[in-house]
């Protein structure tokens, strides 16, 4: 009998990841050096951004991760390789800033460049693929998120990134950063909570009274078609008139520009997902379940609170998840009308051609949206298990 030789199975996603890693290492700058914060920069490959020994060790580790991505099929091995890669490049980019910056130079700026972002993307894809294959439950996903947040906090507190331009921008604006962070969270969460207070009863009314359904959904659908900047602009005139003619409105901080129009716009955008998912969740409650509850003598209110809402909760939470992730991003645009939030740094950076100032506002927004999505997905899974 002929001897069957073992075949080598290459992972398709791993091959793409290896390609990204190759481009990042040998064809893309790892960091960008600038003489000051606004002039154009000079890219440095990884091999030129670190001392020779450090560069060699980093390249060897990254290539080993690429090999695991292509050849390894066990999820735990792939996850370990991704964590190793992330654990190497994130401190390394901070060390490279100290290596590239001339001694005693306080004006130079060093920023992560395309090579670093490609490596981060490649390792994040590898980690996401491994976690998907592991099929973690809700508590496992929350634990992974907590671990990632802890490692990131440790990295920031260690001072490894202190020489990066991004951290220098933060140091110069630490007080305003946390003030805008509170404003961003207030806009996103406050408008979501207001939309839940109004949207849940509207969804219930749409479910109970079909005649209202078309009117409510069509009206909210029209709001969704209005671009966010246009809606902010539309609200300036009526709110300005209200502030000028109603002293109580002015005392409450309602003006034509600022947080008030931003909050109202986010609230209006949030209504449709909450109303539609509330109606959909209630509609999918099995009729025989409600009939059984009626046969047991439960009143209409008791059936709603004890049977219908608990069974519809996963679908309602899915709508709230959409709203929160949407509002995290839309709150950034509120800075255009003086609403504050992380968008303040984004638009300041665009105006000053300072990419690191843009990142100071953009990165927290992305991180918060990602974390909110994971947390609410886990809560939805837990409610679905409870309902089952």
Last residue of a domain, one of 130, 159, 188: 159
User: For position 1, what pLDDT does the model report?
Assistant: 47
**Residue 173 DSSP one-character state:** T
The answer to whether the pTM exceeds 0.85 is yes
Tell me, yes or no, whether 191 and 155 share the same domain.
no
Residue 312: inside a domain: yes
User: For position 16, what pLDDT does the model report?
Assistant: 93
Q: Three-state SS for 243?
A: helix
Can you tell me the distance from the alpha carbon of 304 to that of 197, in angstroms, rounded to the nearest whole number? 16
- Per-residue confidence in pLDDT tens, the chain, 388 aa: 455 555 567 788 899 999 999 999 999 999 998 887 777 788 899 999 999 999 999 999 999 999 999 998 899 999 999 999 999 999 999 999 888 888 777 778 889 999 999 999 999 999 999 999 998 888 999 999 999 999 999 998 988 898 898 898 898 889 999 999 999 999 999 999 999 999 999 999 988 888 888 888 888 888 888 887 788 777 777 777 776 777 766 666 667 677 888 888 899 999 999 999 999 998 888 888 888 878 887 778 888 888 888 888 999 999 999 999 999 988 998 888 888 899 999 998 888 878 888 999 999 999 999 999 999 999 999 888 765 5
Residue 1: inside a domain: no
Tell me, yes or no, whether 226 and 368 share the same domain.
yes
Tell me, yes or no, whether 55 and 132 share the same domain.
yes
Tell me, yes or no, whether 104 and 145 share the same domain.
yes
User: Hey, which residues does 111 pair with through a beta bridge?
Assistant: 32
**What is the span of the domain harbouring residue 75?**
12-159
Which two three-digit tokens encode residue 114?
């395309």
Phi, psi of 31 (to 5 degrees): -135, 160
Report which secondary-structure segment, H or E, holds 321: helix 309-333
Q: What is the largest CA-CA distance in the chain?
A: 96
Tell me, yes or no, whether 153 and 41 share the same domain.
yes
Tell me, yes or no, whether 80 and 144 share the same domain.
yes
User: In angstroms, what CA-CA distances link 303 with 270, 287, 294, 295?
Assistant: 27, 12, 7, 11
Residue 2: inside a domain: no
Residue 267: inside a domain: yes
- Domain total of the chain: 2
Tokens 């490692």, residue located: 151
Tell me, yes or no, whether 36 and 134 share the same domain.
yes
**CATH number assigned to the domain comprising residue 233:** 1.10.3720.10
Residue 109: inside a domain: yes
User: For position 261, what pLDDT does the model report?
Assistant: 84
Residue 168: inside a domain: no
Residue 169: inside a domain: no
Tell me, yes or no, whether 137 and 189 share the same domain.
no
| CA nearest to 81, candidates 30, 14, 148, 138 | 14
Tell me, yes or no, whether 336 and 210 share the same domain.
yes
| CA nearest to 236, candidates 256, 220, 218 | 256
């Amino acid at each position: 009998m002929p001897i069957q030789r073992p075949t080598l199975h290459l992972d398709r996603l791993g091959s793409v990841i290896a390609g990204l890693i190759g481009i990042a290492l040998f064809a893309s700058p790892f960091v960008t050096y600038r003489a000051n914060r606004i002039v154009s920069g000079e890219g440095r490959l990884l091999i030129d951004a670190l001392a020779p020994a450090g560069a060699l060790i980093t390249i060897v580790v990254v290539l080993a991760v690429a090999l695991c991505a292509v050849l390894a099929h066990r999820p735990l091995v792939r996850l370990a390789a991704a964590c190793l890669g992330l654990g190497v490049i994130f401190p390394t980019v901070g060390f490279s800033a100290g290596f590239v910056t001339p001694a005693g130079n306080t004006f130079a700026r060093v920023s992560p460049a395309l090579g670093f972002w490609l490596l981060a993307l490649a390792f994040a894809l590898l980690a996401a693929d491994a976690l998907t294959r592991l099929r973690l439950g809700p508590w496992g996903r929350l634990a992974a998120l907590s671990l990632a947040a802890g490692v990131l906090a440790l990295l920031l507190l260690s001072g490894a990134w202190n020489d990066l331009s991004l951290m220098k921008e933060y140091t110069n604006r630490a007080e305003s950063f946390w003030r805008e962070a509170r404003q961003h969270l207030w806009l996103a969460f406050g408008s979501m909570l207001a939309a839940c207070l109004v949207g849940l009863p509207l969804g219930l009314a749409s479910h109970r009274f079909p005649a209202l359904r078309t009117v409510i959904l069509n009206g909210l659908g029209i709001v969704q078609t209005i671009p966010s900047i246009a809606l902010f602009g539309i609200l300036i005139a009526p709110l300005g008139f209200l502030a000028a003619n109603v002293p109580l409105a002015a005392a409450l901080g309602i003006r034509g520009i600022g947080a008030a129009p931003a909050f109202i716009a986010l609230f209006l955008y949030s209504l449709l997902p909450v109303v539609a998912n509330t109606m959909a969740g209630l509609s999918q409650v099995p009729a025989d379940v409600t009939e059984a509850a009626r046969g047991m003598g439960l009143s209409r209110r008791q059936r709603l609170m004890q049977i219908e809402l608990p069974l519809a909760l996963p679908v309602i939470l899915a709508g709230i998840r959409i709203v929160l992730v949407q509002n995290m991003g839309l709150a950034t645009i509120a800075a255009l009308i003086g609403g504050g939030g992380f968008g303040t740094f984004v638009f300041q950076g665009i105006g000053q051609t300072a990419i690191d100032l843009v990142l100071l506002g953009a990165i927290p927004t992305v991180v918060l949206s990602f974390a909110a999505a994971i947390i609410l997905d886990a809560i939805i899974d837990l409610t679905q298990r409870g309902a089952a």
